[in-house]
Structure 1
Amino acid sequence: MSIPSGAPAVAPRVPEAVHRRRWAILGVLMFSLLIVVLDNSILNVAVKTIASPAPTGIGATQSELEWAINSYTLVFAGLLFTAGLLGDRIGRKKVLLAGILVFGIGSALAALSSSPGELITWRALMGFGAAFVMPATLAVLMNVFERDEQPKAIGIWAGSVGLGIAIGPITGGALLEHFWWGSIFLVNVPVVVIALIAMALLVPDSRDPDPGRVDPLGVVLSIVGLVLLVYGIIRGGELASFTDLTVLAPLIGGLLVLAGFVWHEKRSNHPSIDISYFRKPAFSAAVAAIALVFFALMGVTFFSAFYLQSVRGYTALESGLLILPLAAAQMIFAPRARLVVDRFGAKAVCTVGMLLVAAGLAAFALFDVDTPLWVLCLVFFVQGTGMAHIMPPVTVAVMQALPRERAGSGSAINNTFRQVGGALGIAVLGSVLSTVYRGDIEGHLDGVPDAARDVAGESIEATLGVASKLGPAGKPLIAAANDAFIGAMHVTALGSAAVALIGAAVVAAFLPGRTPAPGKPGQGEPDLAGRPAQEPAHRS
């Protein structure tokens, strides 16, 4: 790579021995990230099986299924920020190895669960381990690649998320067709063993050489605030209402504690995170974009599994294969997003990406029981294409705003906003879906025995379960359940698309456009493609 005329070469910051194996290290990081992402997507296609009575499943109720998902999210989101700080302080490799080991132990225990309560507990343990894996992978990446190669590496890293989205449902579907439900968790164990060996051999350790004093109050406030906030969000989704006291109390409490965290960090002489970064419009817009796009997308991902399996009648494996275009688009375009940003600028690329996501979400409002498969695949591909042009540039914006030594903190911020946004999307959009569905199905439950009427109105799975017990008399109820779910899905999809449009407005207003060419006014500011004003000397 050529060096701009008149600009001195910047000495490489990555040791030569690490630089030579950087792509192998990235492969190990992707492998570690893959199993964390894969686990969530596997569970999405297995909820119907786990809800079945023993021996097929463990007879989990709708609420227990939600908590099997949410216990992971609650612990994961609550500890992400602290895990990033800990990696910066004691070493990212140590944190990564410990996190992946705990995740593997939790997976084995979850596979052997004999009750919904055990599954919820071990899923929380898996979330504990995953909280230390996710930020560490991105932090290590930032410390083994020079700045000019970071956008390409982050694009590949983001593409691996798409790979997880694809492999998860397909692997889960294949396992459920041939083995018992616990195999979807047990499959993580050999992957964890391979990842541990590869990490120990290849991944270098790195940490902040001058971490300063510990900020125990800041750490405690961040954990308490995030756990309360996410719990309130989850509880609101569970009750399909955000006015209940058990929802409002943790929500308000969490926001107050997080406000106290910000107040403390602004006044501390050894803060856990420099709050001044959020005063930069581009930085704040990037983290807002992450939260908004996952808010919109996670809600749709949640109900699309029920649409494909409950309404359309596809198996778990078939449902997984139908989502393949979304993952394929991310794998194809995410590693190349930096080239588009180089040409058109982050503002234009991310805005168009958000508009594509919004269009894909809005398309769900047109789906019915007979929508052709090729239309479903096209919509998923459009969504994946939009995601692939959002996540790499905004992740680069967040990570390159902080010094390399604080890479763990930057990664934690990136992933915390993503997790909170995703949890909020599932809760809010799930509440909308549930409320609309219950309102539509209630008028069709007159023929259902009084003892089963309340249960039948909880969800489409509950309605179909009651209808199957009624025999031939339940056929009209099945048709009514499908119609009610599709109507609720249409409303929810439009709400998701509206949130994505808000995200498009945010990035269009605050993300920077194209960076001036070297030598022109404005030189010296790195762009969101990661192209520094003075690039490091070329190394092969």
Structure 2
Amino acid sequence: MHNSKTRWWVLGVMALSVLTIGLDTTVLNLALPVLASDLKASTSQLQWFANAYNLVLAAMLLPAGMLGDRYSRKKLLFLSLVMFGAASVACAYSTTSEALIISRAILGLGAALLMPLSLSLVPFLFSEGERPKAMNLWVMASALGLPLGPIIGGWLLEHYNWGTIFLINVPIILIALIALVVLLPESTAEKQKLKVDWRGIVTSSLGLAAITYGVTRSGDEGWGDGITLASVILGVLLLGVFIWLGRRTKHPLVDLKLFKRAGFTWGAGMATLVNFSLFGILFGLPLYLQIVQGFNAQAAGLRLLPLIGGVVVGSRLSGLLSARAGDKAVIALGFLIVAAGFGLGGMTEVSTGYGYTSVWVVCIGVGLSFVLPISMNAALGTLPEERAGVGSAVIMAMRQIGGTIGVAFLGSLLNSIYSSHVDVSSLPEATAEAIRHNVSSGAMTAGEMNSSSLLESVHEAFVSGLDAMLFVCGGIAIAGIVLTMLFWPRKVEVGNTSGVEQQKVFQ
């Protein structure tokens, strides 16, 4: 590019745009009670407010990456931002549940285009030496959006209409559009006009959507539900067909040879593994802060700030440590810090104060920022220019599925332990079933019955489930240490395009 500072401005604006995707992933949960009342939404419709976004996002990631490799990234980024902004406005002013579901689906499509395309800019805007710092910024923005959702959303819902949780996207998107037009010149790199792999698009999109739907449904219906199992099995089979077809197609949607590069495979794998654990804390901790410690949604959201503080501090340290000790050592250390954080969290009791909670949350934030930027940078660094879009989409798809499975599996574990530990032996079956359903229902029922002993049982049962979930997350982090030490390559193979050649890509 003609100006080195311009590259950082472009990345900063793209990172800010990606932050809104994280916000939209978590902010909706806070608004569900208000939406149920204002839109007279049924339980099924409330579920589809989230599912419409998540399913379209999962299904369209790989085709979106392919489009970036075939056509102008600038034009497609412009389209994705317009789509995301327009859908945000449509969500904010929806007057029916059906309108909100459709708008959320379009929002998911905009996010599916925006995530891999913005990520694919990093390897070609920045040289190999600059890339870790650039990746730190992008990853930090994508990670910060998740805990910021409850913080900003809680404050907006306290003071304004629910539509404002979507309108906060609009000024950010407008800034991004202006920056994109002014700062990012059109790509002059030759694009390969390959034949579109329609069979790959259909099988991968349906497969990812089916798995996402089945895993999400398992959180409410359990793994014994027929539709849940059928959906997951169908998704796995479709992805199997996708891989089988990819081996027999001249120009497949995803070149499976990417996975022969150890840097790509293990970089994407480590990012997925840590994402799995991250979504566990984002699911369990807000419930603990609200139900057990008694904070409202906004106050609970603010108490997630130590996670952000840990990410910011860790991102400053990881680059320095990597230069001295190497990527492998820093990733292993990051998983060790994450495991220690979850281990401390697993010793939480009902009487534990917030000060103790903030310590282990900071640990997880620091460890997260050691693992994610380096692992994703290693995966991106192996990508050739002509596969940057779809390669980035593969990484994001793996992280998305990892996060979805993390929420479903860890949430099911927490809820099953809670329901088996809560003492409802002396209560009528209908009341007992309502209490066992989830901790929110249990606390509400105990409050209505004005029973301090029942509320204490609800709290103790939930903390038992939370501790078990956090220990499992710690075990996953320990597995990350072992896998890193055994399989992380000594030298990551670099793709055929780097920031040195950025003038060819973005002149």
TM-score (norm 2): 0.91
Distance 1:20 1:48, change over 3 A: closer
Alignment equivalent of 1:489, drawn from 447, 459, 466 = 466
Deviations 1:411-466 (A, max 9, x none): 1011111000000001111111122222223x426435x55543332111112233
Please give the secondary structure, in 1, of the residue aligned with 2:191.
coil
CA positional deviation for 1:308:
0.8
Q: Quick one: which amino acid aligns to residue 25 of structure 2?
A: N
Conserved? CA contact 1:18–1:144, under 8 Å: no
Q: Are 2:252 and 1:271 equivalent residues in the alignment?
A: yes
Partner of 2:185: 204
User: Which runs of no fewer than 5 residues in structure 2 stay unpaired?
Assistant: 503-507
CA positional deviation for 1:403:
0.8
CA distance in 2 between counterparts of 1:189 and 1:171 reads: 15
Alignment equivalent of 1:510, drawn from 463, 473, 487 = 487
Conserved? CA contact 1:77–1:131, under 8 Å: yes
Q: Quick one: which amino acid aligns to residue 487 of structure 2?
A: F
Q: Are 2:91 and 1:110 equivalent residues in the alignment?
A: yes
CA distance in 1 between counterparts of 2:261 and 2:146 reads: 32
Equivalent residues in 2 for 1:53-452, closer than 5 Å = 54=37, 61=43, 66-114=47-95, 118-206=99-187, 209-241=191-223, 243-334=224-315, 336-441=317-422, 443-444=423-424, 446-447=426-427, 451-452=430-431
Conserved? CA contact 1:231–1:250, under 8 Å: yes
Please give the secondary structure, in 2, of the residue aligned with 1:390.
helix
Taking only the aligned residue pairs, the percentage that are identical comes to 34
CA distance in 1 between counterparts of 2:186 and 2:300 reads: 40
Q: Quick one: which amino acid aligns to residue 35 of structure 1?
A: T
Q: Quick one: which amino acid aligns to residue 488 of structure 2?
A: L
CA distance in 2 between counterparts of 1:64 and 1:478 reads: 30
CA distance in 1 between counterparts of 2:306 and 2:430 reads: 43
Q: Are 2:26 and 1:41 equivalent residues in the alignment?
A: yes
Q: Are 2:3 and 1:22 equivalent residues in the alignment?
A: no
User: Which runs of no fewer than 5 residues in structure 1 stay unpaired?
Assistant: 1-14, 516-524
Distance 1:444 1:452, change over 3 A: closer
Please give the secondary structure, in 2, of the residue aligned with 1:314.
coil
Partner of 1:520: none
Please give the secondary structure, in 2, of the residue aligned with 1:268.
coil
Conserved? CA contact 2:211–2:235, under 8 Å: yes
Partner of 2:443: 464
Distance 1:102 1:188, change over 3 A: same
Please give the secondary structure, in 2, of the residue aligned with 1:210.
coil
CA positional deviation for 1:150:
1.8
CA distance in 2 between counterparts of 1:461 and 1:114 reads: 28
CA distance in 2 between counterparts of 1:362 and 1:103 reads: 39
Deviations 1:118-166 (A, max 9, x none): 5444333221111111111111233322333222211121122344245
CA positional deviation for 1:527:
7.5
Q: Quick one: which amino acid aligns to residue 461 of structure 1?
A: S
CA distance in 2 between counterparts of 1:197 and 1:338 reads: 31
CA distance in 2 between counterparts of 1:458 and 1:205 reads: 54
TM-score (norm 1): 0.85
Q: Quick one: which amino acid aligns to residue 444 of structure 1?
A: V
Distance 1:137 1:348, change over 3 A: same
CA distance in 2 between counterparts of 1:130 and 1:353 reads: 28
CA positional deviation for 1:65:
5.0
CA distance in 2 between counterparts of 1:527 and 1:97 reads: 29
CA positional deviation for 1:526:
5.1
Deviations 1:309-351 (A, max 9, x none): 1211112222122111211222233255333222212211111
Larger displacement relative to structure 2 (331-340 or 408-417): 331-340
CA distance in 1 between counterparts of 2:229 and 2:144 reads: 37
Deviations 1:381-425 (A, max 9, x none): 111111111111111111111112321112101111100000000
CA positional deviation for 1:167:
3.5
Larger displacement relative to structure 2 (458-467 or 142-151): 142-151
CA distance in 2 between counterparts of 1:59 and 1:458 reads: 20
Please give the secondary structure, in 2, of the residue aligned with 1:444.
coil
Please give the secondary structure, in 2, of the residue aligned with 1:347.
helix
| Pairs aligned (count) | 502
CA distance in 2 between counterparts of 1:535 and 1:22 reads: 13
Q: Quick one: which amino acid aligns to residue 240 of structure 1?
A: G
Distance 1:208 1:360, change over 3 A: farther
CA distance in 2 between counterparts of 1:33 and 1:88 reads: 20
Distance 1:248 1:299, change over 3 A: same
CA distance in 2 between counterparts of 1:263 and 1:346 reads: 34
Deviations 1:472-508 (A, max 9, x none): 3x33322221111111111211222222222222222
CA distance in 2 between counterparts of 1:38 and 1:427 reads: 19
CA distance in 2 between counterparts of 1:68 and 1:433 reads: 24
Deviations 1:272-307 (A, max 9, x none): 222122123332222221221111220221121111
CA distance in 2 between counterparts of 1:253 and 1:208 reads: 38
Conserved? CA contact 1:286–1:507, under 8 Å: no
Conserved? CA contact 1:288–1:503, under 8 Å: no
Partner of 1:32: 17
